[in-house]
Amino acid sequence: MRLLLVEDNRELAEWLARTLRQAQYTVDVVFDGEDAEHALSLDEHALVILDIALPKMSGLDVLKRLRAARNPVPVIVLTANASLDNRVRGLNEGADDYLAKPFEIEELEARIRAQLRRVNNRKEPVSRCGDLYFDSNTRLFRLGDAALPLSPREHAVLEQLFLKAGHTVSKTALSAAIYDFDTDVDPSAIEIHVHRLRKKLEGAGVQITTLRGLGYLLRAQG
């Protein structure tokens, strides 16, 4: 799951990115409004964490242009000024949620999970496909009652397939979802991750089907 973090306080941005990566998110980080707009025009992100007080272009202007371009990506706004006027303005410009600084990382993570459940039409934190379960609160997969051991990349690929279960996901979409700006992508990497996932999912009542020229499909067997 790929997130875009827009925060001009580099120390805070690096800490947040490191913490979110430990929670199995892929995180792109930019430090000003112009770079944020550029990043949003180039790549798809599952969610944006957007500071308001940014150099070059304010967070509210980034948000306004994002919505004018009809980009529906969920946006959580961060601000040191949590006045009612600021909150109302941010929500009116298209923010999905608002968090005042300073904040606890646990609350930010909970708000991220809630927004991702909303856009993926999943009201319950635990979802199932065959005997494969995904808990969006812990961000862990399990087979029946046993935890499924996965590398970070395997986890990212399986999460994308799981959230789109029953629908085809292209290699391009998988790569865009799991690799950040700084990663050199090996064209064969997705195939390798899928091969390893198939081995780990044997007997789980689910299968990953390759649709040649289209991508991959996760579905329950039978």
Domain that holds residue 186: 126-220
152 shares a domain with 75: no
Q: Are residues 68 and 148 in the same domain?
A: no
Do both 106 and 130 map to the same domain? no
Query: Does 161 lie in the same domain as 201?
Result: yes
Which pLDDT score is estimated for 107? 95
**What's the pLDDT score for residue 157?**
93
Statement to judge: residues 112 and 71 lie in one domain:
yes
pLDDT at residue number 182: 75
184 dihedral zone (left: phi>0; alpha: psi -120 to 50; beta) = beta
Q: Are residues 115 and 148 in the same domain?
A: no
The pLDDT of residue 180 is: 81
Would you write out the chain's pLDDT as a tens digit for each of its 222 residues?
899 999 999 999 999 999 999 998 999 999 999 999 999 998 889 999 999 989 999 999 999 999 999 999 999 999 887 666 777 777 888 899 989 888 999 999 999 999 998 888 777 889 899 899 999 888 899 998 899 999 989 999 999 999 889 899 999 888 888 888 777 777 688 999 999 999 999 988 899 999 988 999 999 986
Q: In the listed set 101, 119, 137, which residue is the last one of a domain according to the structure?
A: 119
Residue 169, beta-bridge partner list: 216
Same domain, yes or no: 10 and 95 = yes
Long-range CB contacts for residues 105-114, cutoff 8 Å, separation at least 24: 105/16, 105/19, 108/16, 108/49, 108/76, 109/20, 109/23, 111/76, 112/3, 112/20, 112/25, 112/47, 112/49, 112/76, 113/137
Domain with 166 in it: what CATH number? 1.10.10.10
Does one domain contain both 140 and 65?
no
Given 94, 119, 144, the domain boundary residue is 119
Count of domains in the chain? Answer: 2
Residues 104 and 11 in one domain: yes
Q: Which helix H or strand E contains 148, and what residues bound it?
A: none
**Among the three residues 119, 134, 159, which one is the final residue of a domain in this structure?**
119
Which CATH number does the domain housing residue 48 bear?
3.40.50.2300
pLDDT at 54: 94
